[in-house]
Amino acid sequence: MPEISRDEVAHLAVLARIDLDDAELDHLAPQLSVILESVASISGVAGDDVPPTSHPMPLTNVFRDDVVVPGLTAEQALAGAPASEQQRFSVPRILGDEQ
């Protein structure tokens, strides 16, 4: 199983939208390698014929009647928002200059 490099952790942090600083990367990369090494033991434990389990209960197709029930009011839904405006969530710009 591969070791995880500092550069790889930096890339994963970009994917995970966490702005890790240099000190955090230095700290995390070796720890993650140790963790990965210890979980690597499962490789080869289960053969190709073993079906995967994604969920402990064999539940499929959970339906309910299509009935309208009361939900949160706009005011309630926005109460915890960092910023709101005209009954909407107010967010930073979502596009770059070049887009």
**Member of 3, 5, 30, 34 binding another protein (CB under 8 A):** 34
Measured from the CB atom, is 19 or 68 closer to another protein?
A: 19
DSSP string, 20-56: --HHHHHHHHHHHHHHHHHHGGGTTTS-TTSPP-SSS
Tell which one of 21, 22, 66, 98 touches another protein (CB under 8 A): 21
SS3 assignment, position 72: coil
Comparing CB distances to another protein, the nearer of 68 and 93 is 93
CA distance 69 to 93: 34
Site for another protein in 52-81 (CB under 8 A): 52-57, 59, 62, 64, 72, 76-77, 79-81
